[in-house]
Amino acid sequence: MLRFLVAACALAPSALCATEPAPPQGAPKELVAFPKAVKLSGPRAEQRVIVLGVWADGRTFDLTRTASLTSTHAKVAALDRGVLRPVGDGTTELVIEALGAKARVPVTVEK
């Protein structure tokens, strides 16, 4: 199967084989995170966060894969491979950094 996919990409490049375009040079004007706020209810709750960079000329790029995510209170919510999970009741913030820009997302946990 892998040989077929490699051959298909070599012979007929398509969206399946295409790489994402690189974001513009320099830092984005702002980072936008989705969701804007996170509420984790219950011990099995989890949430991924999507990060978009917005440049001064209005272009947006998905920076989710390259963004650095950090919980300000690891005893409330922790990150595991980009997935936010509850640890204990309380509130914290998710700090997001990408290409020199920062954003914060409030997080509430009710375990």
What pLDDT score does 81 carry? Answer: 87
- What are the start-end ranges of the H helices in 1-111? 2-11
Asked if residues 78 and 87 have their Cβ atoms less than 8 Å apart, the reply is yes
This model's pTM is above 0.85:
no
Distance CA(98)–CA(54), nearest Å, equals 11
Distances in Å between the Cα of 36 and the Cα atoms of 6, 33, 41, 89 are: 39, 6, 16, 20
pLDDT in tens, 52-71: 999 999 999 999 999 999 99
pLDDT tier, 2 (very low <50, low <70, confident <90, very high otherwise): very low
pLDDT digits (tens, 9 = 90+) for 15-52: 555 676 788 888 899 999 999 999 999 999 999 999 99
